[in-house]
Amino acid sequence: MEFGIFVQAHLPRRRLEADPDAEHHAIMNEVELVKAADRAGWKYVWVTEHHFLDEYSHMSANEVYLAHLSAVTERIHVGSGIFNLNPQVNHPVRVAERVAMLDHLSDGRFEFGTGRGAGSREVTGFGIESTAVTKEVFDEVIPEFLRMWNETEYHHQGKAFTVPTRNVLPKPWRRPHPPMWMAAGNPPTYEKAARLGVGVLGFNTSAISAMAPMVQAYKNAIGEAEPVGAYVNDNVMITNGVVCLEDGRKARQVVQDMGLGYLQSLVFRYHDTFPKPEEVPDWPALLPEPTPEDVDLRINEGYMLCGDPDEVLEQVRRYESVGADQLVFGLPIDMPMDAALETIRLFGEHIIPKLDGDPVHRSTRFRDAAAAATSAGRA
Residue 274 confidence (pLDDT)? 84
Q: CA triplet 178, 130, 202: central angle to 5 degrees? A: 40
Task: Using alpha carbons, select from 308, 183, 376 the residue that is nearest to residue 192.
Answer: 183
Element spanning 114, H or E: strand 110-115
* Positions of the chain with pLDDT lower than 70, given as ranges: 377-379
Query: Judging by DSSP bridges, how do beta strands 162-166 and 154-157 pair with one another?
Result: antiparallel
How do residues 268-282 score in pLDDT, each as one tens digit? 999 998 888 899 999
Taking the mean position of all CA atoms in its chain, how far away is CA 287?
A: 25
> Under CATH, which number does the domain 2-378 receive?
3.20.20.30
- Return all residues near 158 (Cβ < 8 A) that are at least 6 apart: 140
Could you tell me where the DSSP H helices lie in 159-258?
A: 187-196, 212-221, 248-257
Task: Using alpha carbons, select from 43, 365, 372 the residue that is nearest to residue 179.
Answer: 365
Residue 378 confidence (pLDDT)? 65
Domain boundaries, the chain: 2-378
The pLDDT mean for the chain works out to 96
How do residues 193-250 score in pLDDT, each as one tens digit? 999 999 999 988 788 878 999 999 999 999 999 999 999 999 999 999 999 999 999 9
Residue 152 confidence (pLDDT)? 98
Residue 186 confidence (pLDDT)? 87
